[in-house]
Chain A
Amino acid sequence: MKKMWLIGLNTFRESMRKKTLYIILIFALIVIGASKLFSFLTAEEELKMIKDVSFSAIEFFGALMAIFGSLYAISTEIERRTIYTLLTKPIRRSDFVLGKFFGVSMIVLINFILMTVFFIGLLFFKKSPPDLQVFKTLLLIFFELMLISGITLALGTFTSDAFNIICSFFLYIVGHLTSYGKELVERTENIIVRGLTDMLYTLVPNYENFNIRDKIVVGLNVSWGYVGWTILYGILYLCIALYIALYFFEKREI
């Protein structure tokens, strides 16, 4: 556990020195800040717009950070051959993989907190302090980002960077569309199309489950029960992703 933490801390320190993540963060803050430009709307509509744009920006730019952070976490160590100096130390390969995941999670968390603080500051500035529903939305976004990190990391243990980035974005997009796809396909009687959709729906995590912002923005309430089950759903898929990462990395030759 201690060695996993040390690897994680090293990953975190290394990533914090990469400019890519700062650029993404700056873009996110600009987009969140820009939501205030809708001041020509009524106060209520403007608040809805700020929440909608901010939630979307936190989720989208957070996903970019999660994908890029995880993408290079293992491949950079291999490319620069620093991995030789790590795996020849008394650490398990599982410590290395899980340490990398913790390191990336810390980066995602720090950036998520910065974006959230900025967004909440904006709400206070608009004299509309965030309610519990806002925090529920943010909590689910955070778990979605963790899941995206885990999946990208898992793909990185057995694919190239180029294939990984394509797959991660593909899964991110498909994961947001599967529920719509399933609804559409239920109208068809073609067994193959229905079978393929069912398979995709089961294999690809349904990221849309983590999206409650549409309801929150229009003032609907989402129960803690739903939030809890969705978090469990995310943890289950995350465990599967990390298991895949460990399985492939244990066998990987470097």
Chain B
Amino acid sequence: MAIIETRDLTKHYFLGKKKTVIGLEKVNLQVNQGEIFGILGPNGSGKTTCLKLLLGILFPTAGEAYIMGKNPHDINMKQHVGFLPENPYYYDYLTGPELLRFYASLFSLETQTTNARIEQLLELVELHNAKKLHLRHYSKGMLERIGLAASLINDPEILILDEPTTGLDPIGCRDTRNLLLQLKQQGKTILLSSHFLSEVERVCDRIAIFHRGNLLALGTLDGLNKQYQATNLEDLFVKTISSFDNQEAAKTGDVT
């Protein structure tokens, strides 16, 4: 059953003087309940645009997006969603527990539940020893980990993560990967964007490859490898993108 869905989701950025940049072009996606779904693509391919449209931060030029059958601006739907932005920044003057408490209050969680969640999450992301440290003293990896904890404060059914392993060292990447698999076992649906192919390969049930705002491929890794006669994800990634670029070049007569 699709818990996240987009129908011909399109986003064009208007830069004035009739200049338009395509952020996303008629994307149709369905993310099923309980799966880990990865959006892959080079920089500027539309991964973050897609996530922002799903979360109601951006408005679509055309098409529709739904989470749990609700539109992205539905307040009740957001009660069940957790989000980790790319390279997260938080309020410098807060400590980790204070940040989590602030976000918990926005979900109207009860004090007892909040306290228990904070302890549990700090333990989970291994920041329990940094409880009194202000966020301005956090390293990039620590910020990523507190961000992950913040995205889980409401015990969400759906977790949307934009480049969750950016800034993490190999051990941090492994821990995040294990955490995602653990969350999947708990029945959570996870939608993540990344350009770290190996991470995606190890955790995602299905993937989508984006390039220049277009959805080029969608399916399980095995299925896509067969379809594109690729040996692994990297090979698949290169083949789909090169094929698209060649088609585009052919259209404009610029064949190399």
Interface of A with B (CB < 8 Å)? 2-3, 6, 10, 13-14, 17, 80-82, 84-92, 251, 253-254
Most buried by B among A2, A3, A90, A92: A90
Supply 11 further A-B pairs (C-beta < 8 A) apart from A2-B108, A88-B78, A254-B57. A10-B91, A81-B89, A82-B89, A84-B55, A85-B150, A87-B55, A87-B57, A88-B57, A88-B81, A91-B106, A254-B58
Residue of B nearest to A14 (CB): B91
Q: Which residue of A lies closest to B77 (CB)?
A: A90
Contact between A89 and B106, CB atoms less than 8 A apart: yes
B-side interface residues, number (CB < 8 Å): 28
A interface SS class:
helix
Is there an interface contact between B89 and A89, defined as CB atoms closer than 8 Å? Answer: no
- Given A6-B102, A81-B88, A88-B83, answer yes or no on A253-B57 (Cβ-Cβ < 8 Å): yes
Which B4-22 residues have C-beta < 8 A from chain A?
A: none
- In the complex, whether B105 has a CB less than 8 A from a CB of chain A is yes
Considering the complex, give the chain A residue whose CB is closest to the CB of B99: A85
Q: Are B79 and A82 in contact (CB under 8 A)?
A: no
Report chain B residues within 8 Å CB of A254: 57-58
Q: How far is the CB of A72 from chain B (nearest CB, A)?
A: 13
Residue of A nearest to B98 (CB): A13
Residues of B within 8 A of A89 (CB): 78, 103, 106-107
* Distance from A103 Cβ to chain B, minimum over Cβ atoms (Å): 12
Interface residues of B in 105-164 (CB under 8 A from A): 105-108, 147, 150, 160
Can you list 26 contacts pairing A with B, beta carbon distance less than 8 Å? Answer: A6-B106, A10-B102, A13-B93, A14-B91, A14-B93, A17-B92, A17-B93, A80-B89, A81-B85, A85-B83, A85-B85, A85-B88, A86-B106, A87-B57, A88-B83, A89-B103, A89-B106, A89-B107, A90-B75, A90-B76, A90-B78, A90-B79, A90-B106, A91-B106, A251-B59, A253-B59
